[in-house]
Structure 1
Amino acid sequence: MEAVKRWRSEWRYPTTLLCIYGFFSTVKPMEPFIILYMTGPDKNLTTEEVNNQILPVWTYSYLAVLVPVFLLTDWLRYKPVVVFQCVMLFITTAMLLWTRSVPALQAMEFFYSLVTACDVAYFSYIYSVVDQKRYRKATSYCRSVQLLGYTVGSVLGQLLVSFHLMSNNNIMVLTLVLTAIALLVSCLLPMPRQSMFFHRRQNTKSNGDGTTDVAEHASTSMKSLEEIKEEKMDKSIESVEDTIRAKEEEGPKDEDLKESVGSQSCGQVLLQLWRDFRQCYSSRQLLYWSVWWAMATCGYNQTTNYVQVLWDHVQPSQNFSIYNGGVEAVSSLLSAGAAYSVGFTEVRWEKWGELTLGGFSGLGAAALFLMTFIGNIWVCYVGYIIFKCMYMLLITIAMYQIAADLTMERYALVFGMNNFGSLALQTIITAVVVDSGGLGLAIIPQFTIYASYFSLIAVVFSLRGLFTVWTAQRNQTETTPPDKNEPPDSIEHRL
């Protein structure tokens, strides 16, 4: 019994539960065939209804709920939002199974936007319940298990569809069962005692002069003297809050006082977020990497959201065998390998990174052009695998470069802001290009725009990368001291 209690108090217990949750919540056998399911006899929708009316709702809703969910996730300390995410996933799957009308499926897309917005809780939860030295290991476990879930779901879906082992509706019922298991596991997660912003874990020690020093659990890189003073002020405020809470537990509750303290704490958090935002994006290198992140993620999301419509256009699923599940599985595994290889690549990314972003973005653009204009399904499949691998490789490099000098709090802030920027761009593109209220373009013109969009990214960052390399080479030449063994005449001649 003692061994069980000790194991539950260690980092392995919440990490194991979170991995189990991540696996069962990502095994979705029908996802690679979702367009086939919606346009087939089960739902009997047209491709135009799915492409121009239903799918765009996810983009608009995701942008609207991202920031509120981000703040609520930290305030509620992650676990309630993880449970809420699974409930929304269950509702999404149930609506996809039992509804048929366009308005109902548009509502389903709204619920799915809540699911994707709550991903921040999944990836942030683990940092609040494990020690900092376990961050990398716990993160690798959670990400690997999610990848395994996507791969298993894709392979399972391909087998069930190709060999007609289950009807589409029965596959959706299977997904509901898997989601119910994930929901049960999410309820078993331990409740964190602290979060990154609203409920920080801090240690204090007296200096003998009535002041206290704040020892943050995360690293303190990129902190200025002004920020340290602000932290001490925040600590004083938190000490007052702790005293008030203790008095509330001992005696009658003062609701007015409690509400006043809560609003002050929220204001402090928002003010600190704004200061951190300005401090982080004052770095030009971080700004450039973040711009690429926002632009490329926007294009990647648009491509993955509508690629099944392109595949169905090139080879109609009603008339031919399709292998969407196998393609998704292969692309996920190869993308994981590409991302994993970054950790073993010795490259000065601060010098060559932007040129790498431009070059590989160009390869992604070429793959998209091939998918668009070569009317062969196998070319489409191979082009998609190349495109996804290029993006996963580059986004891993970008994450590493951005996170290298940030504290965990700023890490979450910058990542959230970059995703918000990508969603803002995606909303504009969706409203203008895809939505029936805008241009409402067919799938081939859509992918022509996406390929041209990545070509623009490639040109901009290639030029920026060439300038960075040239500047670094020039600075290295100017700062290189002359060789002491070189004769004076040679030095004079060289000058």
Structure 2
Amino acid sequence: MDCWKQEKRNTWTFPTLILCLYGFFYMMKPSEPFLTPYLTGPDKNLTIDEVTNQIFPVWTYSYLALLFPVFLVTDYVRYKPVLLLQGISFIVTWLLLLFARGVLAMQAVEFFYGMTTATEVAYYAYIYSVVSTERYQRVTSYCRSVTLLAATLAALLGQLLVSLAGLSYFHLNAITLASVSLAFLCSFFLPMPRRSMFFHRKDGPEALPAPQKGLDSLRPEDGGSGSARQGPAPEQQAEGAQAQSSVLRVLVQLSKDLRDCYSSRKLLYWSLWWALATAGFNQVVNYIQVLWDFRAPSHSSAVYNGAVEAIATFLSSVTSFVVQYMKINWDLFGEMALGIFSAIDAGSLFLMHFTTNTWACYASYLIFKACYMLLITIATFQIAVNLSMERYALMFGFNNFVALVIQTILTVVVVDSKGLGLDIVTQFLVYGSYFAVIAGIFLIRSICMLVSSKCPREIARSCKEHLNHAEDESKEQAVTGHPTWLQESG
């Protein structure tokens, strides 16, 4: 029995190792910092306007359309099938990117890439279903460190291969295809979890059906014409009804949990910043290569996108690491930090708009990304410390969903050719103004909080002085037998 328990405790190491390998290979994409030069170069021969206003917006739309259903399906089928789907989507994305041509084909690339982004939730949620609670922090650290390391190495490798080896962007994409294919192979070795956060809780009712059966009961049988004529068996009807009841129960519970989470004013304002800033951040990251290519066209200038992304990722990891050593009363000064660093982000974006120097654009991007990563780490901590793992996952997903809705509105209005279809330089003026508004909101909020926290202290001190004065008067009256004002009038 002791050996069996010891073996059960050690089972976390294998899935963690495989998941780290999966995360490393799917983040090892040396071609990603050079996507815009690749699309506008001789390989695809697309214009900047086609890339900006017709192709890139598809990623935002597909991500929004897929995020919520993927979130529910991921938990229902217990993560691994969605990781396999993500691996397939990666492979399809890079096959199209390598061998397809034209605007429509590249829009399909963005659709499948939106699917890979929507299914990322399975990567971070999987590990919590196969390890015990006391190991959450350790395995989360492993997985996030591996993905940051892979992203840094990929960007650096891409830059070295382009600048020193003279490798073409096509061959960089071929290397990426090989890497994501290895990630897909790794996902086959992941053990299938027995529980999930919402549909298959460890403490849930034992009568809950397995996800495969629940899915099968929702599909018509194709095993023969006789079964099709006779209709579903009573057992299948019971399983289908139970599956529908399970989905309804989970949806009701999710809505209650969301209401409870956002009833906290502190969590509400941190989540508001999270959604607003993440929408702007994703928009900037999605179109920054277009701005760089406009400032220094890749067909006539040296391209350092990979080096900039590598440094940005490294700085992001450093700022995220430094947060744990910052001894600050976040309840009192947290919103001021959100306002100040959002103002720095706004200044960086304004500089990107007004400057014509490519190196100034690069430096501004480094400052912008480092500030955002610092704040999102603080926001993540402030939200997670007050919630259970299930509620944190729910709030994380909902905040990102709201961010994606805001980002979609920005895309439709600012970027899409059916909206304003602004040029890339004017877009960054809009994004700078957007972050300036965020900074204004939270700076005003922080000033109000500081004033309101100071006023009660002043009132308390005034009351204390008044009480002390009244106490002195009562003592004087007890000695003389007359109140102080009567003595003074006499």
CA contact (8 A) 1:362 1:455 kept: yes
Which residue of 286, 291, 304 corresponds with 2:272?
291
CA contact (8 A) 1:433 1:440 kept: yes
Pair 1:268 & 2:249 matched:
yes
SS at match of 1:254: helix
Aligned-residue offset at 1:488: 4.9
Counterpart-to-counterpart distance in 2, 1:179 and 1:491? 78
CA contact (8 A) 1:286 1:402 kept: yes
Counterpart-to-counterpart distance in 2, 1:261 and 1:480? 62
CA shift in 2, pair 1:195/1:477, >3 Å = farther
Counterpart-to-counterpart distance in 2, 1:69 and 1:480? 56
For structure 2, the 5+ residue unaligned runs are: 213-232, 474-490
CA contact (8 A) 1:7 1:13 kept: no
Aligned-residue offset at 1:475: 3.2
1:323-402 aligned within 5 A: 323-402=304-383
Counterpart amino acid of residue 425 in structure 2 = I
CA shift in 2, pair 1:304/1:275, >3 Å = same
Structure 1 partner of 2:223: none
SS at match of 2:151: helix
Structure 1 partner of 2:486: none
1:139-154 aligned within 5 A: 139-154=140-155
Q: CA offsets per residue over residues 373-424 of structure 1, 9 Å max, x none?
A: 0110110010000000000000111111111111111111111111111111
CA contact (8 A) 2:156 2:306 kept: yes
Structure 2 partner of 1:249: none
CA contact (8 A) 2:15 2:127 kept: yes
Pair 1:426 & 2:427 matched:
no
Structure 2 partner of 1:88: 89
1:237-276 aligned within 5 A: 238-241=205-208, 254-276=235-257
CA shift in 2, pair 1:382/1:191, >3 Å = same
Aligned-residue offset at 1:8: 9.3
Aligned-residue offset at 1:261: 1.1
Q: CA offsets per residue over residues 190-229 of structure 1, 9 Å max, x none?
A: 1111000000001xxxxxxxxxxxxxxxxxxxxxxxxxxx
Counterpart amino acid of residue 44 in structure 1 = N
Counterpart-to-counterpart distance in 2, 1:472 and 1:161? 56
SS at match of 2:365: helix
**Range 460-469 or range 50-59, more displaced:** 460-469
Counterpart-to-counterpart distance in 1, 2:472 and 2:281? 55
Aligned-residue offset at 1:480: 6.7
Counterpart-to-counterpart distance in 1, 2:411 and 2:101? 23
**Range 377-386 or range 164-173, more displaced:** 164-173
Aligned-residue offset at 1:482: 8.8
Structure 2 partner of 1:185: 186
Structure 1 partner of 2:160: 159
SS at match of 2:141: helix
Counterpart amino acid of residue 421 in structure 1 = V
**Range 367-376 or range 160-169, more displaced:** 160-169
CA shift in 2, pair 1:479/1:17, >3 Å = farther
Pair 1:461 & 2:442 matched:
yes
CA shift in 2, pair 1:127/1:434, >3 Å = same
SS at match of 1:190: coil
1:4-153 aligned within 5 A: 6=7, 9-153=10-154
Aligned-residue Cα RMSD (Å) equals 2.4
Larger gyration radius, structure 1 or structure 2 = 2
CA shift in 2, pair 1:492/1:432, >3 Å = farther
Counterpart-to-counterpart distance in 2, 1:171 and 1:479? 67
For structure 1, the 5+ residue unaligned runs are: 203-234, 246-251
Counterpart-to-counterpart distance in 1, 2:245 and 2:335? 42
Aligned-residue offset at 1:10: 2.1
Q: TM-score, normalised by structure 1?
A: 0.87
Counterpart amino acid of residue 323 in structure 2 = V
Counterpart-to-counterpart distance in 1, 2:96 and 2:472? 80
CA shift in 2, pair 1:127/1:479, >3 Å = farther
Structure 2 partner of 1:322: 303
Aligned-residue offset at 1:489: 5.8
Counterpart-to-counterpart distance in 2, 1:491 and 1:83? 76
Q: TM-score, normalised by structure 2?
A: 0.87
Counterpart-to-counterpart distance in 2, 1:479 and 1:410? 38
Aligned-residue offset at 1:474: 2.6
Counterpart-to-counterpart distance in 1, 2:456 and 2:359? 48
Counterpart-to-counterpart distance in 2, 1:254 and 1:490? 81
CA contact (8 A) 2:209 2:243 kept: no
Structure 2 partner of 1:174: 175
Pair 1:405 & 2:386 matched:
yes
Aligned residues: 449
Counterpart-to-counterpart distance in 2, 1:487 and 1:422? 52
CA contact (8 A) 1:359 1:458 kept: yes
Q: CA offsets per residue over residues 329-365 of structure 1, 9 Å max, x none?
A: 0010111111111111111111111111000000011
Aligned-residue offset at 1:164: 3.5
Aligned-residue offset at 1:478: 4.4
Counterpart-to-counterpart distance in 2, 1:91 and 1:492? 84
Pair 1:437 & 2:418 matched:
yes
Q: CA offsets per residue over residues 76-105 of structure 1, 9 Å max, x none?
A: 101111111111011111111111110011
Counterpart-to-counterpart distance in 2, 1:112 and 1:331? 22
Aligned-residue offset at 1:445: 0.6
Pair 1:473 & 2:474 matched:
no
Q: CA offsets per residue over residues 414-465 of structure 1, 9 Å max, x none?
A: 1111111111111111111100111111011100000000000001110001
